[in-house]
Structure 1
Amino acid sequence: MTTAVFGHDGPWTEEEYLALGETQDRVELFDWSLHVTPGPTPLHQNISGELRAVLRAPVRQAGLRVLEAVNVRLRPGRIPIPDLVITNDVDLRVLVIDASDVRLVCEIISPSNAATDKVLKMHYYAAAGIEWYLLVDQETLTMHLYQRRGAHYVERSVTKAGDALELVEPVRATIRPEDLLG
């Protein structure tokens, strides 16, 4: 992948981006440019896996899907890889899920990449019309739940260890931050 990335001139098309295939690094497409970050830490992945496990049954009961680290097209030339999404019942064989199928998007804040999750991706997800945004701070295990209002998100709740997040949309679920350490 390194040769393909560094030997490339000019903007990236979606076809060129998707042709990179699976990588150890997280490679996202933001406005025709690549955004490359190292793979997540074991703590990050553990939190993501535990969160998916908590959501699995309520998501299935609602006829939806919960997926980790999939390509989501927010608009042409903008394909991030959220840590976790709750989607409509999508075709699992596609390379990219459309934002219109995403009901909730979750990012687990990496210390080295906090601004991307708190500012850039938050703006992009709201602009794409994704209703719910869950932001999990892996350092403090604090969960921030946002709901879209127009082109922006409004914070609906902050949940710290010892408390419980009671999701009612897009599914009913109770999430306790300390349970995400598994």
Structure 2
Amino acid sequence: MTAAVFDHDGPWTEEEYLALGETQQRVELFDWSLYLTPAPTPRHQRIQRKLGNILEAATRGTGLELLECVNVRLKPGRIPIPDLVLTDAIDFDEPIVEARTVRLVCEVISPSNAATDKVLKMHYYAAAEIEWYLLVEQESGTLHLYRRHGRHYREQSVTKPGDVLELIEPVRARIRPEDLLP
């Protein structure tokens, strides 16, 4: 993949992006440019897995699917890879999930790229009309739940360790921050 990335000239098409295939790094497409980050830390992965387990259990009987680290097309040329998404029914053989099917997107904030999750992706997800956005702080486990209001998100709740997030949309789930942390 390294040669393909560094030998490439100009903007990336979606076809070129998808042709990179699966990689050890997280490679996202933001406005026809690649954005690379290293694999998540073990802490990040544990939080993501524990949160995914809770959300997956909550999807039973709802018709929704929980997916981890999938390509989500927000618009042409803009394909992030969120940590977790809850979607309506999708085609599991397609390499891209369309934003219109995503009901909730979750990101575990990495200290090395916190601004990406808190600013850039938040703006992009809201512009793509994804209704719910859940951010998890790695160090404290604090949960920030946002709901879309027009083309922006408004914070609905902040849940710190010792408290419980009572998620009622798009699924019903009780999330205790301390249950996510190592």
Q: Normalising by structure 2, what TM-score?
A: 0.98
Shift of 1:58: 1.5
Letter in 2 for 1:30: F
Letter in 2 for 1:171: V
> Percent of aligned positions with the same letter in both sequences?
71
Which residue in the other structure is 1:168 paired with? 168
| SS of corresponding position for 1:67 | strand
Letter in 2 for 1:129: E
Post-superposition Cα deviations, 1:69-100, rounded to whole Å, max 9, x if no partner, equal 00000000000000000000211111000000
- Count of matched residue positions in the alignment of Structure 1 and Structure 2: 182
Q: What RMSD over aligned residues (CA atoms) do the two structures have, in Å? A: 0.7
Tell me if 1:125 matches 2:125: yes
- In structure 1, distance between residues paired with 2:154 and 2:142: 17
Structure 1, gaps ≥5 residues long: none
Structure 2, gaps ≥5 residues long: none
Which residue in the other structure is 2:41 paired with? 41
Which residue in the other structure is 1:139 paired with? 139
- In structure 1, distance between residues paired with 2:85 and 2:52: 9
- In structure 1, distance between residues paired with 2:94 and 2:39: 22
Which residue in the other structure is 1:106 paired with? 106
| SS of corresponding position for 2:60 | helix
Shift of 1:55: 1.1
Shift of 1:62: 1.0
- In structure 2, distance between residues paired with 1:134 and 1:33: 25
Which residue in the other structure is 1:82 paired with? 82
Q: Normalising by structure 1, what TM-score?
A: 0.98
- In structure 2, distance between residues paired with 1:18 and 1:159: 37
